[in-house]
Chain A
Amino acid sequence: MQYAIRADGLAKRFNQTRALAGVDLQVPVGSVLGLLGPNGAGKTTAVRIFATLLRPDEGRAEVAGYDVVRQAGRVRSMIGLTGQYAAVDENLTGTENLLMIGRLLGMPRGAARARAVELLDRFRLDEAAGRAAKTYSGGMRRRLDLAASLVGRPQILFLDEPTTGLDPHSRGEVWDMLRVLVAEGVTVLLTTQYLDEADRLADNIVVIDQGRVIADGTPDGLKAQVGGQVLQLRPARATDLATAHALLTEAAGPLAKIEGDEITVPVKDPELMPSVVRRLDQAGIAVAELTLRRSSLDEVFMVLTGHRAQPQTAAGDDEGDDEQYATAGSLS
């Protein structure tokens, strides 16, 4: 078995909506695939088909070599699933949640209890083990959910947006725990809206949009297509635009271009910012806005598809949900 997960021409339609329109993908055993795409791209539908929760309308999918429709029972005994919403029973304690899964998997009571204790320990929930899950923080709940998907020692793990809604600290914790699993040889398919998450965890990335695969490759390969960071400058006085443009061309290269009252230029070197500030200062150019931001998922999609990632993004709203380092006001 070369691939832990493979899909050929998966298609799924919900009434008028085409959730998947022919998706092919392969995940080699022991690797991590990041399935990247905006809301509504079809990520969750794909995961639900792999996890036997949905039947595809067309195409076929194999997990661990078994067909997800005809051999659903076998697939279920090989996989773990952590959904977008933490699917733990809030009225049960951490221990009871894991005990329930162990018993459902046919473990004897003692073995199920031992496995629960081991997992709670590993996910640093041992102190909260006896408390109802509804008292847990978002991060703790997500960790318990992850632990629940591991009770049966699955060889293949599906994680549907495992860090959506978590604070940066909790995200980091989930990432650390995933790395441990991957080191143990578990194959992971992870969906995410965050480029940096796929970047940190995935061996390969498949980008889907509107139910189709629009790009795949390694994180580095994709980033090379998209570029590194983007510097945006808006001089306080429109008359400074030409001077500023010349200055940025000199500092960051010939891709600097004027758009309206601002100048943008892709930059690879984040160290460039101080030197740009220095040059602007020396030239006496008052700055209304100076921004250095990472290539966002928006730009991946702009480059790959020519349209915006989020349909709800208002026209003229140029910032996605990416981080911004803005300097406002005059520097001189």
Chain B
Amino acid sequence: MTTASTPVTGALGGSSRVRPLAALRQTTTLAWRSLVSVKHNPLELVDYSISPIMFVFLFTFVFGGQMAGSPEAYLQYALAGIIVQNTLFMSMYTAMALNTDLTKGVFDRLRSLPIARSAPLLGRIAADLAKQLWAMLLMLALGTVLGFDITGGVAGFLGGLLLLLIFAAAMSWTAVLIGMLAGDAEKVQVFAFTLIFPITFTSSAFVMVDTMPGWLQAWVNVNPVTQLSDAFRGLLLGTPAGEPIMWSLIWAAGIALVFAPLAMRAYRHRV
């Protein structure tokens, strides 16, 4: 942040402020950088593809019969939850990638360039949302092959994806904060998974809430993962989901409102 601005005289735009169009191009370039790196790091592709596929198969065929009588019947309930859980796990990759950039010095290089200060952050978030969308589509496609029926139609399908992406974007700010505060990428992983694992399981993502003890239900019913799973499931299946959709959006807004300023402060402080 500059305290005083100087008049721009050079054609290159020498002042610290970067024009919006240039900032957008820089963000796109940095998003490209995050996506193209997958090409040289096939293991990353495994993270984004194999794990989601594995989740769908395991939940469907291991739990399906016992949970709902048949794998297909359980899939119809659980696919939405499986995708929500995967989305939350994947949002933490943003934290790890940012942390790696910080500790390896890539951020220093970027900051020594005359580019918008927010571009490295927004480029990373945009690329990670693209990867999120890829995993969602992959899981939905696989689910459909295994017998999942998107009874909500095209509108429910698109609306569901949009809702998940909005939630993932809000979660990115949590991920940015974790990435900025953590000492190294491994700590990010430990912290993120310790946080997300219990949150996703104490929800309606995989099971109906009414079999749980009352004290647990109290938490599960306010858990954002419950709201998001119910909302996404409702949209995909075309069942009424107005209330969970509203609560999901409120949660997303709340998370963004709390964590975006904290994350930006940590970002400014750290880079």
Contacts and interface: CB of A to CB of B under 8 A. Distances in A.
Interface residues of A, number: 39
B106 interface: yes
B122 interface: no
A83 B114 contact: no
B33 A96 contact: yes
B183 interface: no
B26 A104 contact: yes
Contacts of A85: 104-105
Contacts of A76: 112-114
B107 to A, nearest CB: 8
B36 interface: yes
Nearest to B16: A73
B105 A83 contact: yes
Contacts of A89: 33, 37, 106
Interface in A77-95: 77, 79-81, 83-93
B14 A83 contact: no
A132 interface: yes
A61 to B, nearest CB: 14
A134 to B, nearest CB: 8
Contacts of B25: 103, 106
B30 interface: yes
A86 B104 CA distance: 8
Interface residues of B, number: 37
A222 interface: no
B184 interface: no
A92 B26 contact: no
Interface in B97-115: 104-106, 108-115
B2 interface: yes
Contact of B29 (A48, A66, A69, A103): A103
B108 A70 contact: no
Interface string A283-309: 000000000000000000000000000
Given A76-B112, A101-B113, A106-B22, A92 B33 contact: yes
B108 A132 contact: no
Interface string B14-34: 111110001001100110110
16 contacts: A51-B108, A52-B111, A53-B108, A69-B2, A71-B16, A72-B16, A73-B16, A74-B6, A77-B12, A81-B112, A83-B108, A85-B105, A89-B106, A104-B30, A132-B41, A149-B109
